[in-house]
Chains A and B, each alone.
Chain A
Amino acid sequence: MDSIAAVPKAPLDSTLVAYSFDETSLPYQNSAAAKRPAVSRAQYAADRSLATFAADSPTGKAGDYSLYFNGDSRIVYADDLGLLQFSDEDFTFEAWLKFNASDQLVERPVLMAYGLGGQSGYSFSFIRANMSANSANSTDSPSGKAGDHSVIPNGGLKVDDTVNPILNIEAGPITMEAWVKLDSLSGNTDIARYGDAYKFGFNNTGALLWTFLGIEDVAGSVVFTADQKWHHIAMAWDPGIGVTFYLDGKQVDHVDTGNTNRALQSNTLNIGTDSGGTSALLGSIDRLRIHNAVLTESQLDSDPANPKAPLANTVVAYNFDESGVPYKNATSAIRPAVDRLSDNTLAVTTFGILDAYSKAIISGDGKWHHIAAVHEQGVELRFYVDGKLGDTLPYTGGVRYASTPNFNLGSEASGVNPYVGYMDRLKITRGAVAESKLDYFKPAVSVTDWSLY
């Protein structure tokens, strides 16, 4: 230890940071190997509290900027004139947003808020659902190699296969395979399912399970034990013949069945949960593949250290090697896997009265989108995304004048519930703007365009 006052010791091999604070001013340098300057916390916080102008906008024109909120950004207007106070009257909130859902820090990013919250004022926000249910990436993998990651699905992943679907192979043949590392098995467990028509996973006894959803559960006789180790699971359905079950690359069972999948209920591939988030796999998944073929043992991706390349009949293959969502499909089709609960539904809060949660979804896809909330006093709240009505909520509660007329951009008061992303053309209108007049269709008219006679 460096405990002799008069004789400072040199850093040790195990020393990660060492600050002697011998500089006469900030920053203070680390004398161990890594460059890690120590700066003023307060200055750092003040710098982070600035939002930044970005040469990025819905129009894409030169000179058209937007504002980027980093999660610590603070912008507070003292609205002493009460210009943005609302009570029982019509109003409309609009904005253009561009953000990545995975960048959000809180479940409810607030775009703007008036007042201090509590019992008066209002806010406009979107709901990220339950972020604790989002998937997590892990550096653990069957191969154990650097860069080979896996995913802990938690609340599940989903793949949107709606446009030009490729997984609508419900007539078979189908082989589904994946590496799984399970902490426990406490109920029916999904590895993956498509369109609520076909799935593979485990039943509540741990038996390997192929399911023609709503028609037949085809359970193997082999019971899988969750031992927190990587195992390869595969099931191959040969229509008219049956389902063959594989564990760690070896056939362990075959069950005859002449049944087939029911009609597709959707074009969504769910990974690690069912479409509602239940039947959750408690553990990790890697190297998930779905093939439009009956694979043999030798064709399976069951060698932990040597992943096979996708086959010609492989429809989707997810290696989960990215650091987080979206996870790429390794075959030619673009089919990213994202968090199942990545919906971002618009909400208006009238503090002290109601949290109005809509079903209008803005995509957190890193592209510009227009959103609007229209309040028609005594009637309803209407929510729009990209000029289209997304939801209507009956509402007669009005708004309470805020006791403190502070208008916060990018968060609630005191920086609570921050938004991370770009914002442009924030527009607040004292009146119910008609759909055709939204700033999605028509450039906004500002108050500076008025004249008085």
Chain B
Amino acid sequence: MDKRFVGLMALLVSLGLMGIPSAFSQKAGDVYMWDFNEGSGDKVTDNSKQMTATMGTALTPESISVSNTDSPSGKAGDRSVQVNGGLLVDDSQSPVLNIEKGPITMEAWVKIDAITEPTDIARYGGAYKFGFGNNGALLWTFLGIEDVFSDTIFSPDSAWHHIAMAWEPGKGVTFFLDGQQVDFKATTNTDRALQSHILNIGTDSGGTSALQGSIDRLRIHKAILTAA
């Protein structure tokens, strides 16, 4: 028998008896190197082929939004979206939503099953958002600066409702529910500097503050809209 084979077998057996998991366990002089010459795909392996990683984070099916035929109008072809893990709009090229100095009106139709935590309808650039507090209060947020809560508490009833908030710089935020003004809160605060150019819909940028239900007809205006 080849002496080298005998030697190798003896080494492997002895290592196994010692409880060391592999003939390639730690040894002075070991070298592990990544030359990244795979060139394509999502696997990255070191030159010893012992360490292989799949790049990226896993995507779970339940994190993907679902289109449904339900809508405020109830008409055929009028659909809405169940947001699940949220939607995202990349506004980084020639941005249009960098209106952090206002005025801003944000509005949407929502059909919410439950509110168990602060809930986003939409937010932009880590600077401004509209949604609900964890008690259901209509909420405009100058992110990192001020939460402007309305006194009106929204009760999730799995029915469609129209929510709108209009921020007039130097004056305050007007809150609307189902087309009627329900509150006004004075504030002279303003948005902080943009942290990004991403519009998140139905969750925050990390996927939390998720709206538990559906959204339709989301709009953002650079203007103070009236109930009409």
Q: Which residues of A contact B (CB under 8 A)?
A: 1-8, 11-12, 14-26, 28, 30, 34, 36-47, 49-51, 53, 55, 63-67, 73-77, 79-85, 89-90, 407, 409, 423-431, 444-448, 452-453
Contact = CB atoms under 8 A, between A and B. Distances in A.
Interface residues on B, range: 35 or more
B218 interface: yes
Main secondary structure of the interface of B (DSSP, over half): loop
Contacts of A4: 179
Contacts of A445: 31
A452 B49 CA distance: 17
Nearest to A36: B89
Given A5-B72, A16-B222, A452 B11 contact: yes
B7 A453 contact: yes
Contacts of B219: 2, 11, 15, 17-19
Contacts of B21: 80-82
Interface of B: 3-4, 7-8, 11, 21-40, 42, 44, 46-53, 55-60, 63-65, 67, 72-75, 77-81, 85-91, 94, 96-97, 99, 105, 107, 109, 160, 162, 164, 176, 178-179, 199-201, 203, 205, 207, 215-223, 225-228
B208 to A, nearest CB: 11
A83 B58 CA distance: 25
A95 B28 CA distance: 20
29 contacts: A1-B164, A3-B107, A5-B72, A5-B73, A5-B160, A5-B162, A16-B220, A19-B218, A20-B216, A21-B216, A24-B67, A26-B64, A26-B67, A28-B87, A40-B85, A42-B63, A43-B64, A51-B44, A75-B53, A77-B52, A81-B22, A409-B44, A428-B33, A429-B31, A430-B26, A430-B30, A446-B47, A446-B48, A452-B23
B220 A63 contact: no
A424 B47 contact: no
Given A2-B162, A22-B77, A42 B31 contact: no
Contacts of B85: 40-42
A406 to B, nearest CB: 10
Contact of A65 (B36, B81, B221): B36
Given A65-B37, A447-B31, A22 B78 contact: yes
Nearest to B49: A448
